[in-house]
């Protein structure tokens, strides 16, 4: 039987593919096998290193970084192997469809052999990946245990004789001997090269700091003169002055650290080395400079005009001096702790120095809290100078937290938990300074954002709008949107600082490298449970939604062309959307699949149809009202004979304030299914009609002059369209007139009607105009 040409061609193509794979796969397999061997060797070496460094916190951090690289390599290998398996499976499927069995049999056997080898390699890759992940978990747990042991390490309490005996009888007498050994090491020229390099770096760092400080002072003076000439607002001027202060203090620090790394690549950062002591000293100086710069930018103790915190001079000096003193004491304690390790001093000396530092910081903080509580408010001169300052209501809320941390730190030190007390003080200092930095940045972002009025007043911004053909309102909205994004970033960073990183209080050079000691969402779920994590997620989502709607309501939407009703609709929709998203994410933490919610809703549809029909109907009607906006917040409406202004629209009901100061709660279904009279839907102005009945003998010209003159001079009557007085009917009992006018404020329609009638009646009596009506004794 002849073989079809198409089948023969397919067989030739399959043969060519098989030959190509036979040539390529062995080389690729050899390369992958070498990678697998290297991966297994790396895992074994990392495991041996982790076993050797069980008590080294920083050493285990380096091992963790190596393991993470090994895990990434193992996953890449597994992906490549899975791709090879998919190709072979596709080849086997193609061979199975071939119509030339003899030509496909050998190829099929070869492909099956290759697939079996790939499956074996895939199992090896899975085993390597699991081994690396298990090793990473063990290293993470070891680091957490070390951190907990270091944090909760017990030592003799200073209230016990044991502490003083260890300090005075053993540690202090050895100080002279240890210092002599340290001097001998220095005289043996073992540190000459290190001293020279570190001295050069220190001199250069000090020179950079001095140059930046001089440049900063010069910029501050020029900025003052520019502000006086340009007429910049006090809040914006204070914000830019704070940024100049921060720049002067912040920029030299990373430059000095980069200089350290560039000029001394062989720096030995092992504990107890001279390089480690120098790095700790440099980090301490940098921390003090940053902290004092942030405090000075916030409180400006010598210049109330650029102060960002609305406090008096006495309170500003207290905050700055206390913060600076606490930072210097804590930094000195960190440097001395490193020095005790390098000089091999007794452990009791380091603990005594830490205890003194903690107690001194607590005493300074307690004294500052007392002085701030009794500090007088800013005087009139200070308040006039501090036109740019922000309120300080949050300080009262933070005072109990500071008192609690102070009491806890003192109690820990007295109970022998010195490390925990030092950690609390360090966390309080670092968190306070960095939160103050974030707060300053938030103020600067608010002050530097521009509005439409700022664009109109600024020639440069106006020129920018002309260049890019933008409206001033568009540029203002873009500025506000950028301000909101920066707000979110700064607030997120502040939250990160408050809850981590935990190593900040221990003087780590790069604490953000391992912020949460390897803690993941899975670990958090294991600690607090699925329900606890769901509550955390739900609370965080509600807080984020509230902040977002508040920002939209106060900052963004007022600068748009939307009216108050449209803004309210947007805020309501965003609020309910955020609530729904938060609920879905929180349920996901409990293991509830969002798709299963539709199944649950379908199962409850019968119950909804019978028992919750009105609630669901009102809910859907509320969504329709918010989307279509037939009524808006502030509209004057009449619903089922009740008239009032719309105060609030929710998804179930609408709140309407009536004229007699009562609130009318109207189900949203009534707004959709019944006739609603909206007097301000398309036009805020509304015509007022005032009927009058006058005597038939009235002088028409005098009457018209009185009617129109009074109504045109009333402040609540719009000039356009012009008011009119119309003779509607000559009746049996007199002339029936109707005065028509449009009001500026429709809410004052009844008051306007009463005032017009009162003035007209007075003028009618003066002009001798009589009101119409049936004669005396007449009965209709």
Give the model's pLDDT for residue 23.
45
Note the helical H segments in 667-699: 668-673
Question: Quick one: pLDDT band at residue 20, thresholds 50, 70, 90?
Answer: very low
The answer to whether 311 and 300 are in contact (CB under 8 A) is: no
Across the chain, mean pLDDT equals 75
CA angle 659, 662, 664 (to 5 degrees): 100
Residues 646-657 pLDDT 10s: 888 877 788 888
What's the CA gap between 126 and 86, in Å, rounded? 17
pLDDT attached to residue 40: 87
Helix (H) / strand (E) element for 369: namely helix 347-373
Number of H helices and number of E strands within the chain? 25, 8
Best-predicted range by mean pLDDT (275-284, 516-525, 738-747): 738-747
Whether 26 shows a pLDDT value over 90: the answer reads: no
Do 759 and 775 touch, CB atoms closer than 8 A?
no
Res 779 pLDDT > 60: no
Lowest pLDDT segment from 221-225, 290-294, 568-572, 770-774: 221-225
* Secondary structure element (H or E) that encloses residue 643, with its range: strand 642-649
Domains, the chain:
5-151 (no CATH), 176-393 (no CATH), 449-516 (no CATH), 525-603 (no CATH), 608-678 (2.30.30.60), 686-767 (3.30.70.100)
Q: What are phi and psi of 518, to 5 degrees?
A: 80, 15
Q: What are the tens digits of pLDDT across the range 677-735?
A: 887 766 655 678 888 888 888 888 888 888 888 888 888 888 888 888 888 888 777 88
Q: What is the dihedral of CA 127, 132, 138, 142, to 10 degrees?
A: 170
In the predicted model, is pLDDT for residue 21 greater than 60?
no
Judge whether 253 and 286 are in contact, CB under 8 Å. yes
User: Percent of the chain at pLDDT above 70?
Assistant: 70
Q: How does pLDDT run across 255-268, given as a tens digit for each residue?
A: 665 655 555 544 44
Residue 326 is predicted with a pLDDT of 92
Helical segments of 188-273, H only: 192-230, 234-250, 252-263
Ramachandran angles phi, psi of 379, nearest 5°: -75, 180
Q: Give bridge partners of residue 727 from the DSSP assignment.
A: 737
3-state helix, strand, coil in the chain (%, to 5): 75, 5, 20
CA gap 165, 171 in Å, rounded = 9
Answer whether residue 755 shows pLDDT above 50.
yes
pLDDT at residue number 25: 47
Between 651 and 38, name the one with better pLDDT.
38
778, pLDDT greater than 80: no
SS3 at position 124: helix
User: How far is 687 from 744, CA to CA, in rounded Å?
Assistant: 10
Given the DSSP bridges, would you call strands 724-730 and 735-743 parallel, antiparallel or unpaired? antiparallel
Q: Report the alpha-carbon distance of residue 735 to residue 730 in Å, rounded.
A: 5
Q: What is the pLDDT of residue 780?
A: 45
CA–CA separation, 562 vs 566, rounded Å? 6
């Amino acid at each position: 039987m002849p073989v079809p040409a198409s089948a023969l061609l397919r067989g030739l193509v399959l043969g060519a593919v098989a030959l190509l794979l036979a040539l390529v796969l062995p080389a690729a397999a050899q390369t992958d096998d070498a990678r697998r061997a290297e991966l297994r060797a790396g895992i074994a070496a990392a495991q041996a290193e982790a076993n050797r460094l069980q008590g080294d916190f920083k050493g285990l951090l380096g091992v963790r970084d190596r393991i993470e690289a090994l895990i990434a390599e193992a996953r890449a290998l597994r992906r490549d192997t899975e791709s090879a398996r998919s190709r072979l499976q596709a080849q086997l499927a193609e061979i199975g469809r071939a119509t030339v069995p003899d030509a496909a049999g050998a190829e099929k056997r070869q492909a099956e052999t290759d697939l079996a080898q790939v499956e074996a390699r895939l199992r090896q890759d899975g085993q390597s990946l699991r081994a690396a992940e298990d090793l990473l978990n063990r290293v993470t747990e070891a680091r957490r245990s070390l951190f907990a042991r270091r944090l909760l390490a017990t030592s003799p309490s200073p209230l016990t004789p044991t502490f003083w005996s260890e300090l005075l009888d053993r540690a202090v007498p050895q100080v002279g001997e240890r210092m002599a050994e340290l001097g001998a090491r220095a005289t043996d020229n073992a540190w000459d090269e290190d001293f020279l390099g570190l001295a050069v770096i220190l001199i250069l760092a000090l020179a950079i700091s001095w140059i930046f400080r001089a440049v900063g002072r010069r910029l501050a003076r020029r900025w003052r003169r520019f502000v006086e000439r340009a007429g910049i607002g006090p809040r914006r001027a204070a914000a830019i002055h704070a940024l100049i202060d921060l720049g002067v203090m912040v920029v030299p620090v990373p430059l000095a650290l980069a200089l350290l790394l560039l000029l001394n690549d062989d720096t030995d950062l092992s504990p107890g080395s001279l390089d480690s002591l120098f790095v700790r000293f440099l980090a301490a100086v940098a921390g003090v400079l940053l902290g004092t710069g942030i405090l000075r930018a916030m409180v400006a103790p010598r210049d109330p005009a650029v102060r960002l915190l609305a406090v008096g001079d006495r309170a500003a000096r207290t905050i700055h001096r206390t913060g600076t003193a606490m930072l210097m004491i804590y930094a000195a304690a960190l440097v001395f702790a490193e020095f005790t390790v390098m000089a091999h001093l007794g452990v009791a000396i380091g603990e005594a120095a830490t205890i003194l530092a903690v107690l001194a910081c607590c005493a300074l903080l307690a004294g500052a809290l007392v002085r701030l509580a009794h500090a007088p408010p800013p005087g009139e001169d200070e308040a006039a100078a501090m036109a740019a300052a922000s309120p300080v209501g949050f300080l009262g809320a933070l005072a109990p937290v500071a008192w609690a941390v102070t009491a806890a730190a003192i109690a820990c030190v007295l109970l022998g938990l010195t490390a925990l007390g030092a950690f609390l003080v360090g966390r309080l200092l670092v968190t306070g300074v960095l939160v103050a930095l974030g707060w300053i940045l938030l103020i600067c972002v608010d002050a530097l954002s521009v509005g439409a009025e700022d664009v109109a007043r600024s020639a440069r911004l106006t020129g920018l709008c002309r260049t890019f053909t933008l409206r001033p309102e568009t540029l203002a909205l873009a500025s506000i949107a950028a301000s909101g994004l920066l707000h979110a970033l700064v607030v997120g960073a502040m939250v990160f600082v408050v809850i981590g990183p935990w190593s900040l209080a221990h003087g780590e050079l790069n604490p953000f490298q391992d912020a949460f000691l390897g803690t993941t969402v899975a670990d958090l779920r294991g600690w607090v449970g699925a329900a606890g994590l769901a509550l955390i997620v739900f609370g965080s989502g509600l807080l984020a939604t509230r902040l977002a709607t508040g920002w939209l309501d106060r900052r963004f939407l007022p600068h748009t062309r939307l009216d108050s009703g449209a803004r309210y609709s947007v805020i309501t929709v965003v609020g309910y959307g955020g609530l729904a998203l938060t609920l879905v994410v929180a349920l996901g933490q409990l293991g509830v699949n969002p798709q299963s919610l539709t199944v649950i809703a379908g199962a409850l549809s019968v119950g909804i149809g019978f028992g919750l029909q009105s609630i669901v109907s009102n809910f859907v009607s509320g969504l329709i009202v918010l989307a279509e906006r037939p009524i808006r917040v502030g509209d004057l409406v009449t619903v089922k004979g009740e008239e009032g202004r719309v105060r609030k629209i929710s998804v179930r009901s609408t709140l309407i304030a009536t004229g007699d100061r009562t609130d009318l709660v109207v189900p949203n279904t009534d707004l959709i299914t019944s006739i609603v009279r909206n007097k301000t839907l398309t036009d805020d102005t509304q015509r007022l009609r005032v009927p009058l009945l006058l005597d038939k003998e009235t002088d028409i010209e005098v009457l018209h002059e009185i009617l129109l003159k009074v109504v045109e001079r009333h402040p609540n009557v719009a000039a356009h369209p012009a008011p009119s007085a119309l003779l509607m009917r000559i009746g049996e009992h007199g002339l029936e007139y109707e005065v028509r006018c449009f009001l500026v404020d429709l809410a004052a329609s009844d008051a306007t009607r009463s005032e017009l009638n009162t003035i007209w009646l007075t003028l009618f009596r003066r002009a001798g105009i009589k009101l119409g009506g049936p004669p005396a004794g007449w009965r209709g």
